[in-house]
Amino acid sequence: MLDIKFLRENPDIVKENIKNKFQDKKLELVDQVIELDAKSRATKQEADSLRASKNTLSKQIGALMAQGKKEEAEAIKAQVAANAKRLAELEKEEPVLEEQIQKIMMIIPNIIDPSVPIGKDDSENVEIEKFGEPVVPEFEVPYHSEIMESLNGLDLDSARKVAGNGFYYLMGDIARLHSAVISYARDFMIDRGFTYCVPPFMIRSNVVTGVMSFAEMDAMMYKIEGEDLYLIGTSEHSMIGKYIDTMIPEATLPQTLTSYSPCFRKEKGAHGIEERGVYRIHQFEKQEMIVICKPEESMDWFHKLWKNTVDLFRSMDIPVRTIECCSGDLADLKVKSYDVEAWSPRQKKYFEVGSCSNLGDAQARRLKIRVKDEDGNKYLAHTLNNTVVAPPRMLIAFLENNLQADGSVRIPEVLRPYMGGKEVLVPEKSSIK
């Protein structure tokens, strides 16, 4: 969310930013909020003036009564009564105006970083860099669910009976591999200086609206009926929410946390053939990283964060690339964002396995996350988040890139301690055709 003072003083910059995000329907909101803001400030000024005059008029009444000037005193009493009535009207109007302003400000997009490429949607995202050499094996790579089933590791039919589409049972070595990846990612981030955390898996509505846009909320979140609680779509939500309404000593920055959680998402929209199996699901598990830092350090942290994900995947011999999200593909709170994509030998292309975002002070302003320096100066923190790893989707990349010609799956050395020393997973029946 933008600073109302910035919008008031720079309406043209805000409008140009809206155009760059191809959200022209929101242009009129800038003028609306400026008009409401002017009315709100005038209302507050008049209310303050009436409050200030109350004591003055009361003293005048007392002095006039003491002088026997009852008629003049009664006239001022009438003025006080009229002022009180007007003040009551203004005090009712103030919160209404504030709510209207807040509602509009919540949907005006954040100012994107100047380095962000301008584009309408994800088709205009820009490749930044590739890491590792993509390999297409001589044998045909099966669909990921077939590889898992060949290892007796996936049961979608039972999951449909129990919970419906978009859920799964992971079994045996695949379930163990899933846990191994999460545990390895946890230790990987701890070794890089991040503090490990297991956060709440449900959050209140004020945290939801503090960390994401209304559009994201509607598309993602499951609400608990009858309670002010939502299931988290990513642990970033409760991790950033941890700092709600806090004053952080500057000397303790940056705050760097890595968290494990299950994640729950509606995943609205049509699902193509490549999104069957466990690619696009309602429930998954994830290792996340977040940073709370000083504004001048946020872009340095942004580049450190996405590199962590790249390094993790490369340690498991999975080729990846980074993609910069163009202006039209950025969620409204984001200043800058990279996607990390893993190579799919079966599809012969990359697909998304993680996302790194710098949100500037947008979340901090909504959640009132402030910093106090040694001189007592206060300012809003910057917040960032990035996916460490999110199986089962990550397992798709893992299985495809480590599949052998005989249908077995090689276990990279870094994961073997988490797999009881196993070096290879051998199927009962090969999935290779």
Set out the domains of the chain in order of their start, with CATH numbers: 4-105 (1.10.287.40), 122-425 (3.30.930.10)
Plot region of 348 (φ>0 → left; ψ -120 to 50 → alpha; else → beta) = left
Cβ atoms of 200 and 238 closer than 8 Å: yes
d(CA 408, CA 173): 12
d(CA 398, CA 317): 8
Question: Closest by alpha carbon to 108, among 40, 35, 11, 204?
Answer: 11
Query: Exposed, middle or buried, 305 (CB in 10 Å: 0-12/13-18/19+)?
Result: buried
Structure tokens at 432: 């290779």
Q: What angle do CA 327, 263, 311 make, to 5 degrees?
A: 65
Kindly report the backbone phi and psi dihedral angles of residue 165, in degrees, each rounded to the nearest multiple of 5, phi listed first: -65, 150
Beta strands in 176-224 (DSSP E): 195-197, 202-203, 222-223
Give pLDDT tens digits along the chain (433 positions). Answer: 899 999 999 999 999 999 999 999 999 999 999 999 999 999 999 998 888 887 677 777 777 777 778 778 778 888 888 888 998 999 999 999 999 999 999 999 999 999 999 999 999 999 999 999 999 999 999 999 999 999 999 999 999 999 999 999 999 999 999 999 999 999 999 999 999 999 999 999 999 999 988 777 878 899 999 999 999 999 999 999 999 999 999 999 999 999 999 999 997 654 454 457 888 899 999 999 999 999 999 999 999 999 999 999 999 999 999 999 999 999 999 999 999 999 999 999 999 999 999 999 999 999 999 999 999 999 999 999 999 999 988 999 999 999 999 999 999 999 999 999 999 999 976 656 5
pTM score over 0.75: yes
d(CA 24, CA 182): 42
